[in-house]
């Protein structure tokens, strides 16, 4: 890996770690484990496992955990940090697992990137044993709330970023998709993660840069918006709210 690539990976891992360690993210992962209802001897697959933190937390409670991810950088980090779970390369459409041998299926911040969520749920159904649990956890990218002196520009920036994803409103559809896929006992829970410090600035500046790249807003206006967010962070006036949803069901 070249030095520049290693630096980019280090920055990405640092951003993921900052988010994962926020109290709201910790609570969401804890609630997702409760909804999985996996015990010792059960097998859980964590689809889009990233750096492996959630997989390791589940494994610490007794289940056997298999983390699956497409990104070799994430798999390398996961294997280096967490020797307990197994980590395999694969995607949500073709999991490297046999039929009907998994008691828990977990996917966090994955389904907004899928163009065919019904196909992914069919794959979840394939690997789950009868009675197995599926837990989907993710944010509604179009519903981000960011305080700003220019709400019209803020909506344009947030919407532009959301529009670049295959399914930015994925959680809204998951209850219906699970029912259509033949799952039972479908339940939905919501939570709002609040950020009021500078730790969220890389995400905000990333939204602004993406909006410029997409041609949604002029560069000077996006730069001014990002400067406003930095100023708010420096004066204790930053406010970002991100709605997350947990959708669970039984095979």
- Residues 47, 106 contacting (CB under 8 angstroms): yes
**Span 173-203, pLDDT tens digits:** 999 999 999 999 999 999 999 999 999 999 9
What pLDDT is attached to residue 11?
A: 82
pLDDT of residue 2: 59
Residue 245, helix vs strand vs coil = strand
Q: Model-level pTM?
A: 0.92
pLDDT at 4: 52
Provide, rounded to the nearest whole percent, the portion of the chain with pLDDT above 90.
Answer: 90
pLDDT in tens, 200-221: 999 999 999 999 999 999 999 9
Instruction: Note the pLDDT of residue 224.
Output: 97
Angle at 113 between CA 17 and CA 243, to 5 degrees: 60
- Residue 212: both structure tokens together: 């410029």
Taking only the tens place, the pLDDT of each residue in 79-121 is 999 988 999 999 999 999 999 999 999 999 999 999 999 999 9
Burial class from Cβ neighbours inside 10 Å (0-12, 13-18, 19+) for residue 156 reads middle
Straight-line distance from the first to the last Cα atom of the chain, in angstroms, rounded to the nearest whole number: 42
Residue 32: closest CA among 160, 183, 133: 133
Q: Residues 40-58: what's their mean pLDDT?
A: 96
pLDDT in tens, 10-45: 888 888 888 899 999 999 999 999 999 999 999 999
| 245/108 Cα distance (integer angstroms) | 10
Q: What percent of the chain has pLDDT over 70?
A: 98
Domain regions of the chain by residue span: 3-250
What pLDDT sits at residue 27?
A: 96
Question: How confident is the model over 150-162, as pLDDT tens digits?
Answer: 999 999 999 999 9
Mean pLDDT in residue range 65-74: 96
Residue pair 207/214 in contact by the 8 Å Cβ criterion: no
Mean local confidence (pLDDT), 51-75: 96
Could you please state the CATH topology (level 3) that the domain comprising 3-250 is classified under: Rossmann fold (3.40.50)
pLDDT digits (tens, 9 = 90+) for 123-150: 999 999 999 999 999 999 999 999 999 9
Q: Does position 1 have pLDDT exceeding 80, yes or no?
A: no
């Amino acid at each position: 890996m070249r030095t520049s690539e290693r630096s980019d990976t280090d920055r990405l891992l640092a951003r993921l770690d900052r988010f994962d360690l926020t109290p709201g993210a910790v609570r969401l992962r804890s609630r997702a484990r409760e909804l999985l209802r996996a015990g010792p001897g059960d097998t859980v697959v964590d689809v889009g496992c990233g750096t492996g933190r959630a997989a390791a937390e589940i494994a610490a409670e007794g289940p056997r955990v298999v983390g699956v991810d497409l990104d070799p950088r994430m798999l390398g980090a996961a294997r280096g940090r967490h020797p307990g779970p197994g980590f395999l390369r694969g995607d949500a459409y073709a999991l490297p697992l046999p039929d009907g041998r998994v008691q828990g299926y977990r996917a966090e911040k994955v389904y907004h990137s899928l163009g065919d969520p019904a196909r992914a749920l069919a794959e979840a159904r394939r690997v789950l044993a009868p009675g197995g649990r599926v837990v989907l956890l993710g944010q509604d990218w179009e519903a981000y709330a960011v305080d700003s002196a220019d709400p019209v520009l803020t909506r344009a920036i947030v919407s532009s970023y959301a529009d670049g994803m295959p399914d930015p409103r994925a959680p809204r559809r998951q209850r219906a998709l699970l029912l259509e896929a033949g799952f039972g006992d479908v339940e939905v829970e919501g939570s709002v993660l609040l950020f009021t410090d500078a730790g969220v600035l890389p995400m905000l500046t990333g939204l602004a840069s993406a909006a410029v790249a997409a041609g949604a807003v002029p560069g000077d206006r996006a730069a001014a918006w990002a400067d406003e967010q930095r100023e708010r962070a420096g004066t204790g006036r930053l406010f970002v709210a991100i709605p997350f949803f947990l959708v669970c069901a039984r095979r």
